[in-house]
Each structure stands twice: as structure tokens, then as C-alpha cells.
Copies of this chain bind each other. A is one copy, B any other.
Amino acid sequence: MTKVGIIGATAYSSLELMKILLRHPEAKIVYLGVRREGSPNISSIFPCLGKLLDLACTGLTPADMPEKADLVFSTLPPTISMQFIPPFLDAGVKVVDFSADYRFKDKQLYEKWYGAKHSDVGHLPMAVYGLPEMFRAEIKHAELVANPGCYPTCAALGLLPLVKDTLIDLDDIIVDAKSGVSGAGREPTEATHYPECNESIAAYKVGSHRHQPEIIETVSHAARAKVSLWFTPHLTPMDRGILSTIYANLKQPLAEDAVRAVFSRFYRDEPFVRVRHGDELPKTKDVMNTNFCDLAVKVVGRKVIILSCIDNLVKGASGQAVQNMNIMLGLPETEGLV
């Protein structure tokens, strides 16, 4: 039985993570670290964990672990997470980090978008970007995995098969993404106040969302060339789910079936990517509460349009983190996730 811990246990992604881990036959939650005072039982913070998880929260250092975890997940926010992770790594605990702190190899790019000095440059080189469909081999041996952002996961999975063999122009990619409100976190704000965001859809941070450079990094890496990409996120009146509608120009004319076949081949052995047949189009509800990414392909004239759906809290966060844990620990990759 693998012993796991979570630092930042009050986040939505932590709740989702605990729910997944509670069903995981090989994992046991032994440690929950929070920034709050006192040692509240986690079920007083999340009443829905009553009779499921009876564990008192403690602090954020290795010394706070009631028993030593084999792996710790950090759901702390960016710029905070890198302050608490190093001691765990030093103590020989593997780490999966939900924040952006270890996602960028280029520390200046990180510092530009996250507005803070990187305080743990030392561990950057060993960090592996935790998108199994791209870096499975590296994740297998990683001590520190940077779990991808929700939008980047959804966008990258929709683009990888197209850029790998450069079927599309790399300088004109549009990702129009629609996300449920849980993506905005657990802090009440005007934007997430029910009467403000219910029954309404809006774009936000057009061209300036922090996930844009992450998408560009990931897709450029796969393309082995710098891509130009426009990313527009939208807040959609639903709890969870992301749909990315991706537009690109085909380099050469290709029939829709041919493009679909490229996707099917590319993802044939992937346990968590499903390519839809023919005219079927996915909806976010198809992947709700699952670790799947559902993809569909349309060709209209010279453009290919990709529909990519994930649950932002599962494949876009906690499910993928557990998938990474499984790979890091040599467990079956789908354990606890289907």
C-alpha cells in the first residue's frame, strides 16, 4: 500500500483528489497539510468526507507527517507551492505539484507570467511535465512531476497528433476554450458569485491568461518548432468541464476521415483518450467525473476543427495527478481511475 499526503488540502482539487484516492486500491492517505491554524479534521472542512476520511490536518513540513508518505501532492497555489515542496524532495518523498511552479523549463518565462522570482531553481531541471501522453517515459523515473494546467491538458491533447507530423500551419492556431466555474478555485469573488455568473457566458483574460504560454510551450515542444497560438478562455455556467474548440489550417488538403485516422492511430494505446467516430461530437458531460479526454475531428474547407473535452478537476487536475502517481510508482496506470 502506497502512503500519500497532500499539502494544500483545502482546495477544490484536493477534495477531488481525496475522493479519487479513497477509491484507489493501492493508495492510503496518511497526511494532510494545510495553512490553517489548529488541526481541524478534514471532514469538518469538507462535510462530504464524513465517514470516508477521518484524518486531522497538520502543517506543511515533512515533520508534520504523522507517518512518512511515499508521495506528496501539492495543491498549493503558484509561487507558494515552490516554497514548501523542496523539504519533501530532500526527505526522499516524491512530489506531484498542481501549481505552475515547475512547469516551465525557462525560469524567465515563468517569472514574467507569474510575477514572482522563482525560489527553487535548483529543482527545476529534474521536474517532468506530467502529461503522460507526451512524457510517459520521463514520468516513470521522475521524483518531481509538474502536473499540467487544465486548459493546457485539454488543448495539448487536441493538438499533439496534428503538430507531431506538422499537418497544420504552426503559425495560426486558435484555441477557444469554455470552462466550468470550479476552474476559478474555492475563493468567492464577484466573478464567481452565483447571480453574476449563472445564466451567462463571457470571455476573460483574452490573450493574457497564464495558461497561454504553457500551451504554447507544450505544443511547440511536440512540434519541435515555436508555434503561434491564440487562446481565449470563457467562463461557462456549469460546475466542471472544459471544451476546447481548436481551429487550424491544414498544410495539405486532407479528408476528414484521414485526419480522424491520424488521431485514432496516435491515441490507440492511450487508456484515457477517446477519439469519436464519424459525426459524433463530444460534450463535457461525457467526461464528467472521469479522467478521459474525448476528441472529435471536423474538416471544413482548408481548416481542421478539433473538439477536445475534459473534466477540469479530473484529467485537468486530480485524476491526471493520480495517473502520474501510478506511473511514478510503477502501478497500473488506470488504477483508481476507472
Contacts and interface: CB of A to CB of B under 8 A. Distances in A.
Given A48-B290, A176-B247, A198-B239, 9 more contacts: A47-B276, A51-B271, A176-B176, A188-B192, A200-B288, A202-B281, A207-B300, A236-B236, A237-B238
Interface string A174-208: 10101011100010111011111111111110110
A104 interface: no
A39 interface: no
A243 B287 CA distance: 24
Given A203-B281, A274-B50, A243 B234 contact: yes
Interface stretch (A109-117, A142-150, A301-309): A301-309
Nearest to A243: B201
Contacts of A204: 281
B241 A285 contact: no
29 contacts: A23-B23, A23-B338, A48-B285, A48-B287, A50-B294, A188-B190, A192-B193, A192-B195, A194-B237, A195-B239, A196-B285, A197-B283, A198-B198, A198-B238, A198-B239, A199-B199, A199-B241, A199-B284, A199-B288, A201-B238, A201-B241, A201-B243, A201-B284, A202-B281, A202-B284, A206-B300, A228-B301, A230-B247, A230-B301
Nearest to A338: B52
7 tightest A-B contacts by CB? A202-B283, A207-B300, A200-B285, A188-B188, A188-B193, A181-B194, A176-B176
B193 A186 contact: yes
A129 interface: no
A195 B182 contact: yes
Contacts of A241: 199-201
A18 B228 CA distance: 43
Interface in A224-247: 228, 230, 232, 234, 236-241, 243, 245, 247
A201 B236 contact: yes
Interface string A294-338: 100010110101010000000000000000000000000000001
